[in-house]
Structure 1
Amino acid sequence: MTIPDDLSDLCPGERIRVLRESRGLSRPALAQFCNRGPDWLKKIESGERELRSHTLMMRLAIALQLPDLSLLTGGPAEVAQPVPLGRLSHPAMPAIWTAVMARPLASAAADGPVAPAVLQGRADQTWRLWHSSRRNRSEVGALLPVLIRDAEAAVRALDGEQRRAALVALSDVYRLTGQATAYIAPAELAWVVADRALTAAQAADAPAAIAAAAWNLGNILRETAYPEEALRVVTEAADLIRPHLEDAPEDWRGVYGALQLHAAVTVARDGREGDAWRYWDKGDQVAKSLPAAYVHPSTVFGRANVDFHAVSVATDLQRAQRALGLADDIDPDVMPSRERRARLWVEVARGHLQRGDRTAALHVMQMAHKIGAETVSYTPSARGVTADLWRSAPRAMRTEASELAAVVGITGTA
């Protein structure tokens, strides 16, 4: 999509107006994307009102189909501030796109469908790969196309309890697809994958699978600047599964706890401190009810992840001192997920940046990249920290900051 080339001397409000008009969008239509009225947008465009909300800026960028937030804010063009529209390139994406968007309607092949138990085993194994690999998007992405096709074929060919089990496996496969393609998938694929995961779980009438699919959908809603909808989805899912918890398997409680942590981060990003810690406390209570070594296979909910989320909540609430204090008490190695460990260090780096300690933030981001290279390269928050460091690292650290920015793909150099 063509971006107007006359934005350089414009303030953010004027940029929004020019971009809106270039897209042929009316002021009421664009304002509706932000759940605001046209008068609100008129004041933004005229400069009468300052746009400070990152969530609202992201919604406008998404609605205007901008690949980078700097086109709205006027930040340095060479520093990436990616909008989650699936504009980050990854070689695994074309084959996954074909498997998802070109699924056949015919019955399974003559040699018969893969047994549901085998499908579920492959899905579980691929989830383990997602959490253990330093290059998890590449390795999992290479396996997903065949896994998607096999799961779809099994659902079409089977009936009764066998089909129900295949539907649960299919839901798991699509949830994993959502994780592996976050920030690299076009928006339409992200929504298709989330919907198919939830639809398959509902067709199986499997409460735990429904709740896990809702957790996945909540991730997409939150990361595409719809936090209210994300909170509604995960709290409704928690309400659905809560009546079954007393006698339910451990993994049902695990996904229930994951929903609470999801809600905690969602409201923390909105500055709702009391609600954030209330949801976190619910997750903490669930973890206490489970064995100390318990880890949910896909969400990695457990004692360590609850503690990791406390750091995220404090960071999102701009409570850097508390976040760093909490991080000091964590042993990262107790977390079996490499991907989650890398994201913890990104949160710690954010906390150091909030305190103005760029030297510590750079050191921590180097650790995060060493643990999970693709987690850092394909997660907007990690890219944002890397860009900040590249732009303003202390003179003595500029070479290291530039090297990190290059390998993450911020500066466009290898």
Structure 2
Amino acid sequence: MQSFSQAVARARRDFTATRYAGLADDLAGLIPVARAATDPAGQALAAQVYHLAALTLIKLSAPPYAWVAAHQGEQAAAASGDLRALAEARRDMVSLFHRAADYAKARDLTARAADLLRPRLADAPPAAWGAYGALMSTGAVAAARMEDRHSALAMLEEAAEASRKAPKLVLSAGHVVTYRIGVSIVLGDAGMAIEHARAISPEDIPTVERRASYYTGSAEAYTLWGKTDRAVRALLVAEKIAPSEVRRPGPRRVIEDLLHRDPHSHLSGLRALAMRASVAL
């Protein structure tokens, strides 16, 4: 069990460092161990494996397989009764419904999960608070897609409260800011997104994955705000931090938008960035 726990901890570190390709290989070796788990502690670890598998498959643009991992994670989390595992499993489902453009289901699933989990948080360990806050952050974006500003902002406030009780590598104030940026963009307020970005130093975001999201979110906000040179600079920083993040669909759409706004590519570094990200010129 100890070696399994240590392997799961390493996998989490690899995810936050955006080492997705190698992580996928490692998780393939951990899944048979997860399937063999029977006791509650083993099932809780198994749920973490499936959670990381779902997140990694989402990052690698393989949603059908992510759904399978998420369903297995739900089963393991339910068998374990572990609060952290339950929150992470719910978050995976919310994220997948969001990516399938079923925003209402994602928002409502978040709200139901909050009603179920919130009463149990009083004496919960820090990791459970972090998982709950991550769930609320993800649900907030889905609520924003529904133009449900009230729910989106309320979920972000719950996430901010959770971040004060969570391990910083799981959920920090900086993590929540990246979601505030995303929610503001979805709600059509690029200026507010920039204000959120300016309210925190990116160095205060402890994980590479979220720090890269800070810069890609800032780039999208600057693009919508018409500050295209700043958008390109933000994307270049994100690429330096985590190249794989800039090759994901969202940042690639921002690059396409920038190319459209500047068809002759006068923006310094944009064409080269587009080529590296496999965006058609």
1:8-407 matches, within 5 Å, as 115=1, 117-133=2-18, 136-152=19-35, 154-155=36-37, 159=38, 163-182=39-58, 184=60, 186-288=62-164, 290=165, 294-295=167-168, 300-377=170-247, 379-393=248-262, 395=264, 397=266, 400-407=269-276
SS at match of 1:345: helix
Percentage of matched positions with identical amino acids: 25
Amino acid of the structure 2 residue aligned with 1:269: R
**How far apart are 1:388 and its partner, in Å?**
1.5
Q: Whole-Å Cα distance in 2 between the matches of residues 279 and 326 of structure 1? A: 16
Larger radius of gyration: 1
Q: Whole-Å Cα distance in 1 between the matches of residues 253 and 33 of structure 2? A: 37
Change (3 A) 1:168 1:236: same
Amino acid of the structure 2 residue aligned with 1:306: V
1:167-221 residue CA offsets vs partner (Å, 9 max, x unmatched): 1111111111111111545443222111001111112222321111111111111
1:330-379 residue CA offsets vs partner (Å, 9 max, x unmatched): 111111211111111111111111112221111111111111111111x2
Q: Whole-Å Cα distance in 2 between the matches of residues 252 and 140 of structure 1? A: 23
Contact persistence 1:131–1:336 (CA under 8 A)? no
SS at match of 1:397: coil
Q: Whole-Å Cα distance in 2 between the matches of residues 236 and 119 of structure 1? A: 32
Change (3 A) 1:285 1:183: closer
1:76-111 residue CA offsets vs partner (Å, 9 max, x unmatched): xxxxxxxxxxxxxxxxxxxxxxxxxxxxxxxxxxxx
Moved more, 218-227 or 399-408: 399-408
Change (3 A) 1:387 1:253: same
Change (3 A) 1:187 1:304: closer
**Structure-2-length-normalised TM-score:** 0.92
SS at match of 2:266: helix
In structure 2, the partner of 1:7 is none
Q: Which blocks of at least 5 consecutive residues in structure 2 are unaligned?
A: none
SS at match of 2:188: coil
Contact persistence 2:104–2:146 (CA under 8 A)? no
Contact persistence 2:215–2:234 (CA under 8 A)? yes
How many correspondences in the alignment? 281
Contact persistence 1:207–1:240 (CA under 8 A)? no
Q: Which blocks of at least 5 consecutive residues in structure 1 are unaligned?
A: 1-114
**How far apart are 1:396 and its partner, in Å?**
5.8
**How far apart are 1:273 and its partner, in Å?**
2.1
Q: Whole-Å Cα distance in 1 between the matches of residues 212 and 280 of structure 2? A: 21
Amino acid of the structure 2 residue aligned with 1:137: Y
Choose between structure 1 and 2: higher helix proportion.
Answer: 2
In structure 2, the partner of 1:44 is none
Change (3 A) 1:185 1:273: closer
**How far apart are 1:398 and its partner, in Å?**
5.1
